[in-house]
Amino acid sequence: MSIPPPHGFLPNAPLFPPRASEMARDIDLLFFTTLGITVFFSSLIAVLIFYFMIRYRRRSPTQVGVYLKGGSTLLLESTWIIGPLVISLAIFAWGARIFFAAARPPPDAKQYYVIGKQWMWKIEHPGGRREINELHVPRGQAVKLKLTSEDVVHSFYLPAMRIKNDAIPGRYTTMWFNADTLGTFHLFCAEYCGTEHSRMVGRIIVMEPAEYERWIGGESPGGVSGVPSGEDLFVAKACHTCHREGSTARAPLLHGLMGKTVHLEGGQKATADETYIRESIVNPAAKIVAGYQPIMPTYRGQLSEEEIIQLIRYVASLKEPTVGEPTSAGKAADRPAESPPSQSEGAR
């Protein structure tokens, strides 16, 4: 059970892509159904054209066509308006069902972070292990990818899963899959991103869960590529000087924030997801939590995408405090800090 063996008369030129997930099967079925409809209507038109061309070919230079008078034009017209309409709406509904499923990861999905950058993919596993242009995943485990980009728009494309999603700078997008076939499959950048676009390729390796566990344990998580942990950053960037217990008048506590609905100044609401937290770091003035002043300086340009992800992961790890227990942010607050970015620099 590795890559399905090449088949057909041209062993090195497959006519059908390998597939490695249940969703790929669903998408193939939808594709071949619509392909059938396409072939049917194209053939119908082609056959009619050839038949009429021969049957009614001009036999003398002065011959004119037979004038069809009266009759039920309307009946024919409504047939070929309503027929295609019904068919296309059915295709739409089917396609939308798959799309909605592809957009909604199951709750037990393991979250990976993917950063696109000219011209490589940087991937971070749930445990913190990082790799470049390769994505190792366990078979039978829903994998959720949070995508972003450091520079231009890229697109993370896994043909064997039949899915792709754009990696867009300044926000996080989500895709997910559940690989059910072991093997190595293509990873492409599908959105044109500059000179070496076609080199921004890699592999996805689907492994047995046990093998994956061995592989992931093979290297110590974090610190591998020199990115400090989120907790260290929280201190180093002086986040903890305001976002801590006892300082709640200046800045909201971040415990249990991830996934919650936040009430904003002006009565609006926002869901605290990755994009929200990212925006709160690089453009804090964009959404002010109700009851607080817009005093936080911007960190735009001071954090790499990896560092922002570490901070997001750290914030996500902060659980709702139980009464009487010191929180981890509280602990972080005891540690010395670098000087915070100056207010004037941050004010936009």
Partner 1 sequence: MTAHSDFPAHPTDFPEPIEEAPEPYEHYLNHKYGLASWLLTRDHKRIAILYLISISFFFLLGGLMAVIIRLELTTPEGDLVQADIYNRLFTMHGILMIFFFLIPAIPGVLGNFLIPLMIGAKDLAFPKINLLSWYIYVIGGIFTFYALLTGGVDTGWTFYAPLSTGYTNTPVVMVALGIFITGFSSILTGLNFIVTIHRMRAPGLTWFRLPLFVWAHYATSLIQILGTPVIAITILLLGAERIAGVGIFDPKLGGDPVLFQHFFWFYSHPAVYIMILPAMGVVSELIAAFARKPVFGYHFVAFASIAIAVLGFLVWAHHMFVAGISVYAAAVFSILSMLVAIPSAVKVFNWTTTLYKGSISWDTPMLYALGFIGLFTIGGLTGVMLATLGIDIHVHDTYFVVAHFHYIMVGGAIMGYMGGLHYWWPKITGKLYPKFWSKVGALTIFLGFNVTFFPQFLLGYLGMPRRYHTYPNEFQVLNVMSSAGATVLGLGYLIPAIYFIWSMRYGKDASANPWGAIGLEWETNSPPPVENFDKPPVVTWGAYEYHEARVMPSLPPPKEEVMRVT
The minimum distance between CB 191 and partner 1, in angstroms, equals 6
Put residue 119 in one of left, alpha, beta given phi > 0 → left and psi -120 to 50 → alpha.
Answer: beta
Cα 224-228-230 angle, rounded to 5 deg? 125
Q: Does 13 bind partner 1 (CB under 8 A)?
A: yes
Comparing CB distances to partner 1, the nearer of 201 and 242 is 201
Please name the residues in contact with 121: beta carbons below 8 A apart, sequence gap of 6 or more.
114, 115, 132, 133, 135, 154, 156, 187, 189, 200, 202
Of all helices (H) and strands (E), which one includes residue 254? none
Kindly state the smallest distance separating residue 343's Cβ from partner 1, in Å: 19
Q: Which of 106, 127, 140, 194 binds partner 1 (CB under 8 A)?
A: 194
Nearest distance in Å: CB 200, partner 1: 10
With contact defined as beta carbons under 8 Å apart, do 244 and 334 qualify?
no
Q: Which residues, 149 to 178, sit near partner 1 by CB under 8 A?
A: 151-153, 155, 157, 159-160, 162-166, 168-171, 173
> Between 87 and 132, whose beta carbon lies closer to partner 1?
87
113: which residues sit within 8 A by CB, 6+ positions away? 123, 124, 145, 146, 148, 309, 313
Q: Residues 47-76: x/- map of binding to partner 1 (CB under 8 A)?
A: -xx--xx--xxxx-xxxxxxxxxxxxx-xx
Question: Which secondary-structure segment (H or E) carries 278?
Answer: helix 274-282
Provide, rounded to whole angstroms, the least separation between the CB of residue 201 and partner 1. Answer: 8
Q: Tell me which residues in 210-269 interact with partner 1 (CB under 8 A).
A: none
Closest listed residue to residue 109, CA positions, set 146, 144, 139, 147: 144
Q: How far is the CB of 178 from partner 1 (least distance, A)?
A: 15
Let me know the angle formed at the C-alpha of 336 by 284 and 293, rounded to the nearest 5 degrees: 25
Q: How far is the CB of 277 from partner 1 (least distance, A)?
A: 15
- The smaller minimum CB distance to partner 1, of residues 166 and 232, is found at 166
Least Å from the CB of residue 290 to partner 1:
24
Distances from the Cα of 251 to the Cαs of 73, 215, 234, 290, in angstroms? 71, 41, 14, 11
Verify binding: residue 12, partner 1, rule CB under 8 A. Answer: yes
Is residue 205 at the binding interface for partner 1, with CB under 8 A as the rule?
no
Scan residues 285-344 and list those touching partner 1 (CB under 8 A): 300-301
CB of 291 to partner 1, least distance (A): 26
Stretch that binds partner 1, among 25-33, 212-220, 233-241, 311-319 (CB under 8 A): 25-33
On whether the CB atoms of residues 226 and 216 are closer than 8 A, the answer is: no
Among 7, 199, 319, 335, binds partner 1 (CB under 8 A): 199
Residue 68 or 210: the one with the smaller Cβ distance to partner 1 is 68
Name which of residues 68 to 127 contact partner 1 (CB under 8 A).
68-73, 75-77, 80-81, 84-85, 88-89, 91-92, 94-100, 102-103, 118
Distance CA 207, CA 81 (A): 50
Number of residues binding to partner 1, judged by CB under 8 A: 97
